[in-house]
Amino acid sequence: MTELRRILVVGGSLAGLRAAEGLRREGYEGELSILSGERQMPYDRPPLSKEVLTGEMEADAVRLVVAEDLGAEWILDDPAVELDLGRRVVRSRGGRDLRFDGLVIATGSTPRRLRPLDVARPGICELRTLDDALELRQALAARPRVVIVGCGFIGVEVASAARALGSEVSIVSIDPPLIVGGALVSGVCAQMLADSGARLALGRQVVAVEGEPGVEAVVLDDGTRLEADLVVVAVGARPVTDWLEGSGLVVEDGVVCDACCAALGAERIVAAGDVSRWPNLLFDATPMRIEHWTNAVEQGMAAARTLLRGSDAQTAYAPVPSFWSDHLGTRLQTVGVPRLADRSVVVEGSLAERRFVAAAYQGDQLVAAVTYGMARALVPYRIKLADGRVPASGATA
């Protein structure tokens, strides 16, 4: 720890804040700076596509508490543009050269873009930041005809909010709704969206936008024309690693790390949150990059420990991943990694009632459990997964 006199955290959202707090909690007393591309101090992102859109929460309610005794220098609205490993310097867009002994990379992710859908065009938007959410809320207040492109968490949650506010909603997506949660979840979600009045165009993509200068309609690849006043692009996110090109770090769908969140290709550099890709030892060292709130919190703290203590068995980061999503009047929750499963079994409740728990297996090994509306029933599955994946105990497909 004596070698680390200046630590720089690049990224001022949840993972970066928790990493900074973790450093202080672990006893680091040196200089601490946080460089952020956001113009805002840290805030919670999950409510942006839900309560903020519907007006149930205002901007002040989503801001995270930053302890006065954190003792960090905050540099806002000035994203990193280059990492010079030789000089141990991060250069910012504003021309700052920030020296460090230890570095936490927590630059998160940014929305993916589609060529026909230019978010600079009036009537086309995306949702990532607090400013995005407030602008979209204002647009939804006029009850526009909304086309949502993408059917992941953001797409489904925006659709839910827009329908609650009285807008007509169409969803265009190559993939089925919430397929990340598995086929059972996806089927139930698709039916709930249809029942809410949303129009689904699945297996389709947008090839053209009509209207000038705003939006009047989108045209799909099968020739279908959907009238629209507002288009929301929600086709997933990519890790923010452009500034690391040529740095010497290993970058492949995120900053590639060891099992303790230490970046490969450098010393005393760690990564946390959406930008980190690491082998989770609890799941046979399967490489993971997780874009969810819980992981940002836990990995930020884990990365801080590794930066101060080094990589060893005591600092390995091997969590049970989890996520949740509130939409269409219910809550989806998952523990484990549904994408690893080759089959799922409903163990409580029923799909017809849209209130169920399903266990997901890879062969005879439990890899995940998912639920709509029965959160407490997930607890034993989380415990089993944390203890190591276990045989299916006779469950059938």
Token representation of residue 163? 């329908």
- Write down the pLDDT at residue 388: 80
Residue 342 has a CB neighbour count (10 Å cut-off) of 10
User: Is 358 in contact with 324 (CB distance < 8 Å)?
Assistant: no
DSSP state string for 310-329 = -SSTTT------EEEEEETT
Give residue-wise pLDDT tens across range 290-320: 999 999 999 999 999 999 999 999 999 999 9
Farthest CA pair distance, the chain: 65
- Write down the pLDDT at residue 394: 32
Selected from 3.90.1150.10, 3.50.50.60, 3.30.70.20, 3.40.228.10, the CATH number assigned to the domain covering 113-235 reads 3.50.50.60
Q: In the chain, what is the straight-line distance between the N-terminal and C-terminal CA atoms, in Å?
A: 52
Residue 315 sits at the vertex; the CA angle it makes with 65 and 82, to the nearest 5 degrees, is 65
Element (H, E) at 162: helix 153-164
Q: Is 187 exposed, middle or buried (0-12, 13-18, 19+ CB in 10 A)?
A: middle
In the chain, where are the structural domains located?
6-110+238-309, 113-235, 329-386
Mean pLDDT of 198-219: 96
Distance of alpha carbon 176 from alpha carbon 266, whole angstroms: 40
Which CA distances in Å does 316 have to 248, 291, 295?
23, 19, 14
DSSP state string for 38-77 = -SSPPB-SGGGGTHHHHTSS-GGGGBPP--GGG--EEE-S
- Write down the pLDDT at residue 392: 45
User: Is 283 in contact with 360 (CB distance < 8 Å)?
Assistant: no
Give residue-wise pLDDT tens across range 215-249: 999 999 999 999 999 999 999 999 999 999 999 99
Q: Which amino acid is at 251?
A: V
Fold match flag (6-110+238-309 vs 113-235): yes
Q: Is 101 exposed, middle or buried (0-12, 13-18, 19+ CB in 10 A)?
A: middle
- Write down the pLDDT at residue 391: 46
- Write down the pLDDT at residue 397: 30
Mean pLDDT of 31-44: 97
User: Is 298 in contact with 319 (CB distance < 8 Å)?
Assistant: yes
393 pLDDT tier (thresholds 50, 70, 90)? very low
What architecture does CATH give domain 6-110+238-309?
3-Layer(bba) Sandwich (3.50)
Give residue-wise pLDDT tens across range 258-279: 999 999 999 999 999 999 999 9
Mean pLDDT of 331-349: 96
> Which of these ranges, 43-47, 72-76, 166-170, 388-392, has the smallest mean pLDDT?
388-392
Distance of alpha carbon 135 from alpha carbon 126, whole angstroms: 10
389 pLDDT tier (thresholds 50, 70, 90)? low
Token representation of residue 382? 């989380």
CATH number of 329-386: 3.30.390.30
Does a cis peptide bond (omega within 30 degrees of 0) precede residue 213? yes
pLDDT at 17 over 60: yes
User: Is 152 in contact with 49 (CB distance < 8 Å)?
Assistant: no
Assessment of whether the complete model's pTM goes beyond 0.75: yes
**3-state DSSP helix/strand/coil % of the chain, to nearest 5:** 25, 30, 40
> Percent of the chain at pLDDT above 90?
95
- Write down the pLDDT at residue 3: 84
Distance of alpha carbon 166 from alpha carbon 153, whole angstroms: 20
User: Is 145 in contact with 167 (CB distance < 8 Å)?
Assistant: yes
Average pLDDT, the chain: 95
Give residue-wise pLDDT tens across range 85-94: 999 999 999 9
Taking alpha carbons only, the member of 369, 354, 272 closest to residue 320 is 369
- Write down the pLDDT at residue 200: 98
Taking alpha carbons only, the member of 135, 137, 147, 193 closest to residue 327 is 193
